[in-house]
Amino acid sequence: MTRMIIAFLAVALLTLTGCGASAPKSDPSRMTATVSDQGIELTASIASPKFAPHALPQVDVTVRNNGKTSVRYIRYNGCDTGVGVIMQQGDAKTAYFDEKTEAPVACTEAITMADLAPGATIQASYVTLPVADMPPPDNGDHVISISFNRATSLDEVKPVVASLQVTVEGGKARVTEAEAVAAAKADARVVQWLKAHPDALVVGRWHQGRWLVRFASKSGTAPHEVEVAVAGAPAKVESVAWR
């Protein structure tokens, strides 16, 4: 997943300015977080702290080197600005963000080190990166984390991190993966199959608005795989497919 996200980063909004460049004027109506660490000033802002699950905010980011020496950072491909943005609820990642671009950009996959000179600034805006197998974020409190990949080497990253406390509201109720698995296991057809395949492994994934719960076993008689589609709240089995 990390590799995929990094690969989609682009440079359409990346600007590097030399000494004397001024930071953008702050907007008091926006929600802003600023962190300063050893000369690096990281500022992130969004239009509002509350939004719907399918209308996640654009995150505007500025990284400025206020120190007297250059600061090294990692670029994971040719388009990487050195900044990553994700949203989490507890330990679970609930959304990934990609740099906003006007058109797709081809990026080299080489991992390199870059230098942010004294007084230089990186500015970029980030929007939600669609991930087909990730459900929309649940209602409630989330944290948007913004990190600048400061590093002394490719093996030693010392990121500068800022965070924004946000709230998702207005989303439709849906079941969790655990609830979907429980509903699938309770289906009479699956119950019978599990009796003959007690060692079955189970995994759930989100796909096109529903959970697909797959059971797989190498023992017993065929079929050796079962896929159960579960949707709704409370969970309801839509279909059972034997493979």
CA dist 191 and 75 (Å) reads 50
CB 49 within 8 A of CB 31: yes
Q: Please check whether residues 62 and 116 belong to one and the same domain.
A: yes
CA dist 138 and 15 (Å) reads 34
Q: Please check whether residues 113 and 157 belong to one and the same domain.
A: yes
The mean pLDDT of 201-209, rounded to a whole number, is 90
- pLDDT at residue 215 in the model: 97
Q: Please check whether residues 22 and 103 belong to one and the same domain.
A: yes
Q: Please check whether residues 217 and 115 belong to one and the same domain.
A: no
Element (H, E) at 4: helix 2-7
Domains held by the chain: number: 2
- pLDDT at residue 197 in the model: 94
Which residue intervals of 19-111 are DSSP H helices? none
Among candidate residues 123, 150, 168, the one where a domain is terminated = 168
Q: Please check whether residues 30 and 138 belong to one and the same domain.
A: yes
- pLDDT at residue 108 in the model: 85
Q: Please check whether residues 51 and 82 belong to one and the same domain.
A: yes
Q: Which of 128, 163, 134, 124 is nearest to 51 (CA)?
A: 128
Q: Please check whether residues 24 and 70 belong to one and the same domain.
A: yes
Among candidate residues 168, 186, 219, the one where a domain is terminated = 168
Q: Please check whether residues 158 and 208 belong to one and the same domain.
A: no
Q: Please check whether residues 39 and 144 belong to one and the same domain.
A: yes
Among candidate residues 168, 185, 215, the one where a domain is terminated = 168
- pLDDT at residue 13 in the model: 31
Q: Please check whether residues 206 and 183 belong to one and the same domain.
A: yes
CA dist 125 and 59 (Å) reads 6
CB 203 within 8 A of CB 181: no
Q: Please check whether residues 11 and 92 belong to one and the same domain.
A: yes
DSSP 3-state assignment of 210? strand
- pLDDT at residue 12 in the model: 30
Per-residue model confidence as pLDDT tens digits over 155-187: 999 999 999 999 999 888 778 889 999 999 999
pTM for the structure as a whole: 0.72
> Has residue 126 got a pLDDT over 50?
yes
CB 173 within 8 A of CB 190: no
> Has residue 73 got a pLDDT over 50?
yes
Q: Please check whether residues 138 and 34 belong to one and the same domain.
A: yes
CATH code, 12 = 2.60.40.3880
- pLDDT at residue 116 in the model: 97
CB 81 within 8 A of CB 60: no
Its domain, for residue 193, covers 177-242
- Count how many Cα atoms sit within 13 Å of the Cα of residue 224 in the half-sphere of its side chain: 5
